[in-house]
Chains A and B, each alone.
Chain A
Amino acid sequence: MKIELISVIGLLLCLLIIGIEYILLYRLAELQDEHTARNDNIRRRLDIHVEGVLYAPTQGSRDAEITALADEINGEYAVYEMAVKEIKEHQGSGFDDEAKEKLIERINTQVDPVAMYAKMLDEGDVYHKGYACRRLADLEALEYRDKIKECVDSKDRDLAYNAAMALCEMGDVYEVAAYLLRIENDTQYSGRIVNEFFDQFTGDREELAAMLFEKCNKYMKCTVIKTIAQYKIDGFRNMYIEGASGDDNQLKIACVKALAAFGYPEDEQILQIAAGDKDWVIRSSAVRGLSLLKTQTALNTVKHALGDKEWWVRQTAAQSLTRMDISPRDLEEILGGYDRFAADAMKNVLYKTVDT
């Protein structure tokens, strides 16, 4: 009888859970419907206000429309974002990006979105705080820098990332460098962060990189060198030359890539040596760098790389050759030549670049 009693209790419990689930489902679905209807309504009203703001005939009527829009937004960041998005995506004539930005600035003076996000930063959970940090940075609210700095120290990785990214957009070199140094040992994570941060950084990238080089480990150093290669920072060339000629393979890969991005004729010798390196990544970077030089010796090396044992190097060489001044005779020689690897790589690239 005991087991039957337990079964009945179990059954009643199940029915209770089902009931709760039903209420939850219904409530969520209802909220969802309300949310959709409310958004549709807001969107409809925003359409009218935005239209009014954009096409107001006089300054006075535009101000009145902006006030009406501010009333509609009523301190809700989601509504504000919808309005801004609508203005940005407006396709009407006479509104270039600059005009739209000016209009948004005028709306901002009435709506005060900084206050909205500042409130979110103070009162929100970690997710809202992270979001607020980013938006405050977008709005260049430098006065909140200290509050954002506090979030960089958070134990929550996403919040710390968002706060550091916000500081990055604000160009805070010390805080960004400190954050990157803090995560340098997390190699699964820091590589991507370095890329994103240098991409978004509004301050002096050379200063940031120099600060990192001073204190960071080898992995971070290589990552930073590879990341900033695209910015062609002359100040680090000597370091690159030294690294490209050194024994450390990882550093060599990064430095050859960075030197290759410059395309300076005085680096040709280093790149020529690198094109014969045992590591195919170095060979490939060197070939890409040589293709920028367009000298006869560089051309010969790139042609030679068409027969490389590594597929990627052959492809890079073939792509590089199309950017160099290769003569029809040279091309004919490659395509009809003995080296099938070279001919295949070249054909592959040509079919995709030349009209057939």
Chain B
Amino acid sequence: MGFLNAIRYFIVYFNYFCMAFTLLLNIIYIIQLFVSFFRVHHNYNRTFSDDYLSYEDSENLLPISLIIPAYNEQEHIVQNVRSLMKLNYPHFEIIVVNDGSTDKTGDRVINAFHMHKIETSIRYQIPTQKIEAVYYSKTYPNLLYVQKANGGKSDALNAGINISKYPLFTCLDADSRIEKDALLRLSLEFIKDSRTVVAGGIVRIANGSKIVDGELKGFTMPKKLIERFQIVEYYRSFLMGRVFWAASNSLLIVSGAFGLFRKQTVIEVGGYKKNTIGEDMEIVVRIHHYMRKHRRKYKVTFNEFSVCWTQGPMSLNDIRSQRRRWQIGLMDTLISHAGMTFNPRYGFVGMVSMPYNWIFELFGAVVETIGYFLIPFTLIMGELNMFFFVIYFLLSVSLGVILSEGSLVLEQYTHRAAMTAKQSIAISVYAILENFGYRQIITIFRVEGIIKYRKLRKTWGKIQRKEFEQ
């Protein structure tokens, strides 16, 4: 009897813990939202006096190497390179790194841009798989195509860094598009403060949007519910989360789809880590680790006006695979740099950002999932007050809606003019609806990632994506 009582008490108190945890997490998010609002307001005003377009032809801008790691990207690669060539930036080179594709990625690039093989000396500042050949085009002198043995995305990025000649580099996904002025805006972060070593741009869901040559030409609501939810989710994640963490120089992730890095710093820390699927987060955490350990002054920043468009997954299966990978990437990185957690030597990153990611981003999903099953169970067993349950449920949904709506306000505030008033209001309905099912499913996928960490940490998932409209 004593044992059963103990279980009963455990369940009841665990319920309270789950509730308190969820409420605390949402309150933290709301604090983030408020800080982000002031930050976005300040940054928006600053862009007015920045007059960033006056830098358009400036010799003072730092030249940039755009590295595109490509593995079986025959569908998107040529179109993507063509779109990048129209970027509004005075000096840049494009390096397509073919990571041993088994399809026609290489042939397509070589033929489309009239490239020929050249002999070139390569500085292997970061060890990578063998670079088999380098192609160059007289017609497109700022384009290089690199053929290398398969070694994974990190290896391809490291090869691109080895072959690049400019002090800044950005890694771009082969299936993403960056806006015409995005590079210009992002590179100003390095010009304005020379301590900047990493700058991330905002990633927006392109599903439904018409992007032509890096310019948004119109928005129609995507057909699938799952795509609509992702639009809200991305606003929340980027405009709220990243703006907040960047404000305290403790941003731990810069999206793999669009981030600008100081090459020398990345070489110093040893380049991208191989055999991890969260290489975009890992490199940023390693830079924090290295710079703080060596007491160097540095800045990891975020610019919400530099936009990269990406096609979000369109099926539940694809989104499951994506979220599992993200969670595994998070877990891998946190384990690799566990020594930073609660270590005052690493300042705000060690004392706040790392613990936050452990507690709320990693294990938060587990607590939330247990709560989904345990709380209704306890209610059925009659151990939980119905009134209390209803209030808790409404409260957690309301807090979720506050966050999503707040992100939409922020989005509207950045004057994107992407959506009409009607569309904005329509999308805000999904900010409510996502709390009934979508959010819970995503949390379960994240937990699945944790459970399958050992099995899946070195595997890649291919996501089916839509073509960009031309």
List A residues at the B interface (Cβ < 8 Å): 4, 7-8, 10-11, 14-15, 17-18, 21-22, 24-26, 28-30, 32-33, 35-36, 125-131, 134, 158-159, 162, 187-189, 191-192, 195-196, 199, 311, 314, 341, 344-345, 347-348, 351-352, 355-356
Contacts and interface: CB of A to CB of B under 8 A. Distances in A.
A38 B428 CA distance: 25
Q: A-B pairs with the 5 shortest C-beta distances?
A: A344-B121, A14-B398, A130-B49, A29-B421, A351-B118
A139 to B, nearest CB: 15
A4 B420 CA distance: 41
Nearest to B401: A18
Interface string B171-215: 000000000000000000001111100000000000000000000
B428 A348 contact: no
A10 B395 contact: yes
B195 to A, nearest CB: 5
B39 to A, nearest CB: 15
A30 B412 CA distance: 10
A315 to B, nearest CB: 8
Interface in B266-323: 297
A211 B401 CA distance: 60
Interface stretch (B362-370, B384-392, B446-454): B384-392
Nearest to A30: B421
Contact of A125 (B45, B388, B409, B415): B45
B456 interface: no
Given A18-B402, A28-B409, A29-B420, 6 more contacts: A14-B398, A128-B48, A129-B49, A131-B49, A195-B60, A356-B116
Contacts of B193: 188-189
B192 A192 contact: yes
A25 B191 contact: no
B417 interface: yes
Nearest to A129: B49
Contact of B421 (A18, A32, A187): A32
A29 B419 contact: yes
A25 B429 CA distance: 12
A356 B420 contact: no
Nearest to B62: A192
A339 to B, nearest CB: 12
A21 B121 contact: no
Contacts of B425: 25-26, 29
A35 to B, nearest CB: 8
29 contacts: A10-B395, A11-B394, A14-B398, A18-B401, A21-B405, A22-B405, A29-B419, A29-B424, A32-B417, A32-B421, A33-B420, A125-B45, A134-B51, A158-B49, A158-B50, A188-B193, A189-B192, A189-B194, A191-B194, A341-B121, A344-B119, A344-B120, A345-B121, A347-B120, A348-B120, A351-B118, A351-B120, A351-B136, A356-B116
A272 B417 CA distance: 59
B168 to A, nearest CB: 14
Nearest to B413: A28
Nearest to B402: A17
Interface in B150-181: none
Given A131-B48, A195-B60, A8 B391 contact: yes
A162 B424 CA distance: 36
B399 interface: yes
Nearest to B297: A188
A310 to B, nearest CB: 10
Given A11-B398, A32-B421, A158 B120 contact: no
Contacts of B51: 131, 134
B136 A7 contact: no
Contacts of B395: 7, 10-11, 14
Interface of B: 45-46, 48-51, 54, 58-60, 116, 118-121, 123, 136, 138, 141, 191-195, 297, 387-388, 391-392, 394-395, 398-399, 401-402, 405-406, 408-409, 412-413, 415, 417, 419-421, 424-425, 428
B58 A199 contact: yes
Contacts, number: 128
Contacts of B46: 127, 158
Contact of B119 (A10, A311, A341, A351): A351
A interface, over-half SS: helix
Contacts of A159: 49
A171 to B, nearest CB: 18
B408 A25 contact: yes
A327 B127 CA distance: 37
Given A25-B408, A131-B48, A356 B60 contact: no
Contact of A7 (B388, B405, B421): B388
B45 A348 contact: no
Nearest to A190: B194
A133 to B, nearest CB: 9
A191 B58 CA distance: 15
B49 A36 contact: no
A168 B428 CA distance: 48
Contacts of B394: 11
Nearest to A198: B60
Contacts of B405: 18, 21-22, 25
Contact of A311 (B123, B415, B420): B123
Contact of B388 (A4, A33, A341): A4
Contacts of B45: 125, 127
A125 B42 CA distance: 12
A356 B424 contact: no
Nearest to A346: B121
Contacts of A22: 405, 428
B394 to A, nearest CB: 5
A125 B45 CA distance: 10
B120 A192 contact: no
A25 B120 contact: no
Contact of B392 (A7, A36, A347): A7
B151 to A, nearest CB: 23
Contacts of A14: 395, 398-399, 401-402
A352 B119 CA distance: 10
A35 B401 CA distance: 28
Contacts of B387: 4
Nearest to B119: A347
